[in-house]
Structure 1
Amino acid sequence: MTEKTASVHWEGQGKKGQGQISTETGALKQYPYGFASRFEDDRSGTNPEEILGAAHAACFTMAFSFACDKAGLATTNVDTKASVRLSKQGEGFVIDRIALTMQATVPGIDDTKFQEIAAAAKRDCPLSKALASVPEITLQATLR
């Protein structure tokens, strides 16, 4: 069993406030975020959806590589992108779609087996399971 931590420090009110995100490993250390980096084009900070997308892409990619190993196939490389959509719903917001796009090189696999392993990895990775309330999680998997 493993448990990882992250923390946030926030100062100020609503749209004018600014936060800092830190992770236990130091991968993020007081990394800024706020209204502008979440809802506008401010690229000097991050946002929860971007971090969620990175986590989901990382989890899925690892699950895919492990599933290939289990099937006796070695992944040469795997590149995954996750697009997380935040939509207005009533007075608030909801994440209503996550689109995973993966390209991988797996010698000795045919496309049918590749798609089967990719779909199972999407279904079985812990982040996909945790995000089961998202109405639409798609996967476009391409064998290179």
Structure 2
Amino acid sequence: MEVRWRDYVWKGPRPVVGPDEIEKLEAAWGVRLPEEYRSTAHLRHGMAPEPNVFDIGEGANVFNNMLTLTSGRHESAYAISTTYELIKPYVPSGIYPFGTTPGGEYRCFDYRENSPGQPGVVLVTIEMEIYHVADSFREFLEGLHEVRD
């Protein structure tokens, strides 16, 4: 199913001007972000996907929105840098956020075991428990679906 993107943080998309924000993030974290994420985040940071449900174990959860790459005064609560600083003391090294759920959980890249450019995707709960969701960002997006009965 094709992912469509709708407004969330701002009205209308706010493409990142140049690759600087993504490269700054990669330098700060010491990782290479997946190409699929780089191209998606460049155009869709701060937006919400449709469909937005993903499977996790026997259940499902919702991908609320992509975190923003920029962190101005109005969007700091949605900024990837703010979110990382919030969870950093509670998660193992190698876990980096890129999105949220409506319940305040985090969609994150997991660089602990995968190759540097192809991290897995995990769910970090509000209790800071970590659950594997997908082997790659592409697999995660391709697995998004509508609510099933």
**TM-score relative to the length of structure 1:** 0.29
Larger RCO, structures 1/2 (Cα 8 Å, 6+ apart): 2
Structure number with greater Rg is 1
More helix by share: 1
More strand by share: 1
**TM-score relative to the length of structure 2:** 0.29
